Structure 1
Amino acid sequence: MATQKMLGFVHTGQRMPDKRDATLRRQDFQEIYARFSDAAAKQQAGRCSQCGVPFCQVHCPVQNNIPDWLKLTAEGRLEEAYEVSQATNNFPEICGRICPQDRLCEGNCTIEQSTHGTVTIGAVEKYITDTAWERGWVKPVQPVRERAGSVGIIGAGPAGLAAAEQLRRKGYEVHVYDRYDRIGGLLIYGIPSFKLDKDVVLRRGALLEQAGVRFHLGFEVGRNASLTDLRLRHDAVLIACGVYKARDLGGPGAGLDGIIPALDYLTASNRKGLGDTVVDFETGMLNAHGKNVVVIGGGDTAMDCVRTAIRQGAASVKCLYRRNRANMPGSQREVAHAEEEGAEFVWQAAPEAFLGDSHVTHVRAHRMHMGVADATGRQTPTPIEGSGFTLEADLVVKALGFDPEDVPTLFGDPTLKVSRWGTVQANHRTLMTNLDGVFAAGDIVRGASLVVWGIRDGRDAAESIHHYIQAKAATGGKPASAAAVAA
């Protein structure tokens, strides 16, 4: 009698891979989860109920064929599972590690809704792709034929890299310009290694180079070349530079030393882990060791800062958030990890002033009352009169989110249209901006969002760029690379 491969949820419980003990993991920056064993991955994948309408797939931004690759994994057909997984996602091993599955695929798993506990989809996705790398199944893309068209991409983050791979797959010459010295954007400098080991990102960059993508690192559009210059070099340009401008926090004492933006703090930590010399880390400016740390914010970036401070040996780490736990924008799984590692959450509290002579010593805050829901469905916090209190703080990290920089000015082209929020305006169907042949994708269009949405936007932009270049060629427009050869 054949073994039942699926519907295992009726007799097998939900299981994550083994997690390192909190007392151990707070001492280093290694990833906190082990990998599934072959048997455990098969067993967990076999819990899938193979829904007729798979809500896990519906709620995945890249529309991963999740039930299909779970079934293949349960049957031990891992190479096929990898092929199905990578067909819709350029970086499945990255998404398997950092996607907030509790809000996306796993949060909408049918058996989760029936109280059996979700299939741990992200852990299986990570297992499939890590196995594929080990066994040599992951290969650089090889176009069937090379095309004459050339595309310039501004930004080597998730959206830019996904677009680059898709365009190389179609045979275009692809150049990626990035102001940083490594490929990956926030994947390298913004996300801590305990969530995403840097070698995982760097090997993807190496694979893209093997595929023929040309990277121009340390290249600032607006300084090394203007947007107009890039438009002359390429048949199409994609703006995928992300959003990096930290939202500020006002109030008395907001300018004191020791109050720093989250990205500066995380970048210093990640650079240190990569072996770079970071002066501000060595001087203690961006180092939490021995300090009372207060992180302000409730998103995933705030959780990254909290957990980084713990690993740096902070004396105490508190997270100050104006709403309650149920109204947090970040992953509940990340909050749980932070609590296990020793972080203290001060719910429904907001800063009103920062105390100290030249360097911050305390945060003065007040309690918040949760009022009626706003347009997003979350309750609106309002201050409670006379509820003030103070927290010791030698280091305050502002994790309040990110806004776009002034891209038209930065890129030297004031004609590029942006929204009232500063994001680049792009046609929602084609992702083309108001400038002919200039497209935009990722956070610079939608605002600060998830890595997986950046991947989806990059893939969509690549498809639109392909149609644009082909339509231009069909009507007599000569690709820039061909025109350069003719000249």
Structure 2
Amino acid sequence: MQKGGRSNPGGFLIEQRRLDKQPADLRVRAFTEITLKPTADSGAAQASRCTDCGVPFCQNACPLQNNIPDWLALSADGDLREAWRVAAATSTMPEICGRICPQDRLCEGACTLQQSGWDGVTIGSVEAWIADTAFDNGWVEPIRPLAERGQSVAIVGSGPAGLAAADRLRSEGYAVTVYDRHDRAGGLLTYGIPGFKLEKRIVQRRVDRLIEGGVQFVLNTNVGVDVTMDELRSRHDAVLLAMGVYQARTLSVPGRGADDTVAALDFLIAQNRVDCGDAADASAPHAAGRDVVVVGGGDTAMDCVRTAIRQGANSVVCLYRRDRENMPGSAREVQNAEEEGVRFEWLAAPKALMSKGEAVTAVRAQRMALTEASASGRRDIAPVAGSDFDLPADLVIEALGFEPEAFAEQLDSGLGLSKWNTLQVARGGFATTLPGVFAAGDAVRGASLVVWAVRDGQDAAAEIDRYLRARTEEAAA
């Protein structure tokens, strides 16, 4: 094989091959994952493409600092059990990150082969394959602490940060209780991410492992309402706040009334509840037979457009103010959406909502142009005069990102906040302004990637462990 005029000197330069996908006309009929599992031969062949370059840029680009070259080499040699052990040493949920991380912006984008002009190793697909094989073969060991510490930790929020922290803290022998306002554990993993990217059984088996290991889940409990922070602090030796950020940003355009749009998360939660086995809520937003416009260009917007297609929308348009190259969402997800019939209107922003009577009928949009790059290198956008156009729409979904909720107001007025209204923590750590209370994940850094939440949860657990051990030593002195 040749590419760019160069010969292929080794097997590691075989063609990059991602997991095969179901044909688009079939996959849009269901909310199951669109990828097909690799065979042992194809998985090992892809893993063998790693060049063992000596400078693991892939590992450096991974928020978890996963030992990627090591488990790729082990997978290529057929030692998947040891590959799993190495992968699990740095990540509490490789099977989840392997599915939903934007690898094109992280490890795969930094792969030496990718940087050299060849197609990079498909690291994410190999990671998911290793983890699924481990679960299928019973290699995922239950949590069995060597000794019980006799101290307890409360975790508020059962999303990726909370689950990661619960895993590490329970493994160290702490009694862990996770509080969540929803009726199921998993947070964003359960109710935010659609099944075609992450089937709910994948999340549930992680939750089940924690339960089997002794972690307690207290669901349908809104901390600050159903139980106070003072009560949590009196019951437990430490508290970790890992509840994420879920307050949706809204459109501010003429014609937008209180009920004229749907928040992205409300739309996704309704479908995810059905995927979890709940009966459909007739009052929930649904796209069947409707002209749908989704405003936004992040991964949440991609989740919405692809969900709308599966619900049987008449048409689905994604309206984004910048161009394809500058959108924050995964390029892989854009490709999937286009294959499934989503139309993208790049460099276009909503200008007003058009209505007939009480019902929205269209989104009036305006073309935008990228300006010259500033000193920082970022190009701004500017409206193009006389470029208005209308998009038919009787369902408008806002996918404009999320902001922190009123953490201090609801939880405890003693919690310090940053200028972005996220929880304030000590520099380089996770301790809040309340003694014995820590915070991690999106509640601290703002809306971010699942892999960063996992990293924060694991690191926060390590800090809580040090804090509680130090308290034990002080009490014994």
State the TM-score, normalizing by the size of structure 2: 0.96
CA distance in 2, matches of 1:118, 1:144: 41
> Which residue of the partner structure matches residue 339 of structure 2?
340
1:288 aligns with 2:287: yes
| Residue type at the aligned position of 1:328 | M
Indicate conservation of the 8 Å contact 1:425/1:434, yes or no: yes
Decide whether aligned partners of structure 1 residues 315 and 42 sit closer, same or farther in structure 2, where only a CA change above 3 A counts. Answer: same
1:46 aligns with 2:48: yes
Indicate conservation of the 8 Å contact 1:7/1:48, yes or no: no
Q: CA deviation at 1:8?
A: 2.4
> Which residue of the partner structure matches residue 153 of structure 2?
151
> Which residue of the partner structure matches residue 482 of structure 1?
none
Indicate conservation of the 8 Å contact 1:155/1:185, yes or no: yes
Q: CA deviation at 1:378?
A: 3.9
CA distance in 2, matches of 1:377, 1:34: 40
Indicate conservation of the 8 Å contact 1:8/1:48, yes or no: no
> Which residue of the partner structure matches residue 312 of structure 2?
313
| Residue type at the aligned position of 1:252 | P
Q: How does 1:327-406 map to 2 (within 5 A)?
A: 327-356=326-355, 357-373=357-373, 377-406=377-406
> Which residue of the partner structure matches residue 418 of structure 2?
419
Indicate conservation of the 8 Å contact 2:200/2:275, yes or no: no
Decide whether aligned partners of structure 1 residues 375 and 190 sit closer, same or farther in structure 2, where only a CA change above 3 A counts. Answer: farther
| Residue type at the aligned position of 2:232 | L
> Which residue of the partner structure matches residue 85 of structure 1?
87
> Which residue of the partner structure matches residue 6 of structure 2?
none
1:433 aligns with 2:426: no
CA distance in 1, matches of 2:436, 2:182: 25
Q: CA deviation at 1:277?
A: 2.6
> Which residue of the partner structure matches residue 204 of structure 1?
206
| Residue type at the aligned position of 1:391 | L
Decide whether aligned partners of structure 1 residues 189 and 104 sit closer, same or farther in structure 2, where only a CA change above 3 A counts. Answer: same
Q: CA deviation at 1:59?
A: 0.4
Q: CA deviation at 1:47?
A: 0.4
Indicate conservation of the 8 Å contact 1:296/1:400, yes or no: yes
> Which residue of the partner structure matches residue 249 of structure 1?
251
Deviation track 1:198-233 (CA, whole Å, cap 9, x = no partner) reads 000001000000111111011110122111111111
SS state at 1:382 partner = strand
State the TM-score, normalizing by the size of structure 1: 0.94
Point out where structure 2 has 5 or more consecutive residues left out of the alignment: 1-8
> Which residue of the partner structure matches residue 117 of structure 2?
115
SS state at 1:432 partner = coil
Decide whether aligned partners of structure 1 residues 155 and 207 sit closer, same or farther in structure 2, where only a CA change above 3 A counts. Answer: same
> Which residue of the partner structure matches residue 481 of structure 1?
none
Q: How does 1:169-248 map to 2 (within 5 A)?
A: 169-248=171-250
Q: CA deviation at 1:407?
A: 0.6
| Residue type at the aligned position of 2:314 | A
CA distance in 2, matches of 1:462, 1:208: 15
Counterpart selection for 1:15 from 13, 17, 26: 17
SS state at 1:363 partner = strand
| Residue type at the aligned position of 1:88 | T
> Which residue of the partner structure matches residue 323 of structure 1?
322
CA distance in 1, matches of 2:140, 2:17: 27
Q: CA deviation at 1:278?
A: 3.8
Q: CA deviation at 1:474?
A: 1.5
Deviation track 1:344-379 (CA, whole Å, cap 9, x = no partner) reads 000000011101121211101111111144698542
Decide whether aligned partners of structure 1 residues 423 and 38 sit closer, same or farther in structure 2, where only a CA change above 3 A counts. Answer: same
> Which residue of the partner structure matches residue 35 of structure 2?
33
CA distance in 1, matches of 2:452, 2:434: 24
Figure out how many residues of one structure are paired with residues of the other and give that number: 468
SS state at 1:361 partner = strand
Decide whether aligned partners of structure 1 residues 407 and 374 sit closer, same or farther in structure 2, where only a CA change above 3 A counts. Answer: farther
CA distance in 1, matches of 2:109, 2:250: 32
Indicate conservation of the 8 Å contact 1:416/1:433, yes or no: yes
Point out where structure 1 has 5 or more consecutive residues left out of the alignment: 1-5, 479-487
Q: CA deviation at 1:429?
A: 2.0
Q: CA deviation at 1:397?
A: 0.3
| Residue type at the aligned position of 1:476 | A
| Residue type at the aligned position of 2:419 | R
> Which residue of the partner structure matches residue 474 of structure 1?
473
Q: CA deviation at 1:477?
A: 7.9
> Which residue of the partner structure matches residue 299 of structure 2?
300
> Which residue of the partner structure matches residue 459 of structure 1?
458
Deviation track 1:59-84 (CA, whole Å, cap 9, x = no partner) reads 00000000000000000001000000
> Which residue of the partner structure matches residue 167 of structure 1?
169
CA distance in 2, matches of 1:184, 1:103: 24
CA distance in 1, matches of 2:375, 2:420: 17
> Which residue of the partner structure matches residue 5 of structure 2?
none
Deviation track 1:45-101 (CA, whole Å, cap 9, x = no partner) reads 000001211000000000000000000000000100000001100000001110000
Indicate conservation of the 8 Å contact 2:162/2:242, yes or no: yes
| Residue type at the aligned position of 2:262 | I
| Residue type at the aligned position of 1:273 | D
Q: CA deviation at 1:137?
A: 0.4
Indicate conservation of the 8 Å contact 1:327/1:379, yes or no: no
CA distance in 2, matches of 1:397, 1:7: 49
| Residue type at the aligned position of 1:361 | T
| Residue type at the aligned position of 1:31 | E
Alignment RMSD: 1.5
Decide whether aligned partners of structure 1 residues 446 and 477 sit closer, same or farther in structure 2, where only a CA change above 3 A counts. Answer: farther
Decide whether aligned partners of structure 1 residues 477 and 386 sit closer, same or farther in structure 2, where only a CA change above 3 A counts. Answer: farther
In percent, how many aligned pairs have the same letter? 56
Deviation track 1:101-135 (CA, whole Å, cap 9, x = no partner) reads 00000000001111220111101011101011110
SS state at 1:35 partner = coil
Q: CA deviation at 1:258?
A: 4.2
SS state at 1:396 partner = strand
Q: CA deviation at 1:14?
A: 0.7
SS state at 1:360 partner = strand
Higher mean displacement: 23-32 or 80-89: 23-32
Decide whether aligned partners of structure 1 residues 77 and 7 sit closer, same or farther in structure 2, where only a CA change above 3 A counts. Answer: farther
Deviation track 1:269-310 (CA, whole Å, cap 9, x = no partner) reads 11112221342xx24x51000000000000000000000000
Higher mean displacement: 250-259 or 434-443: 250-259
Q: How does 1:243-282 map to 2 (within 5 A)?
A: 243-255=245-257, 257-279=259-281, 282=282
Q: CA deviation at 1:7?
A: 5.5
Decide whether aligned partners of structure 1 residues 256 and 175 sit closer, same or farther in structure 2, where only a CA change above 3 A counts. Answer: closer
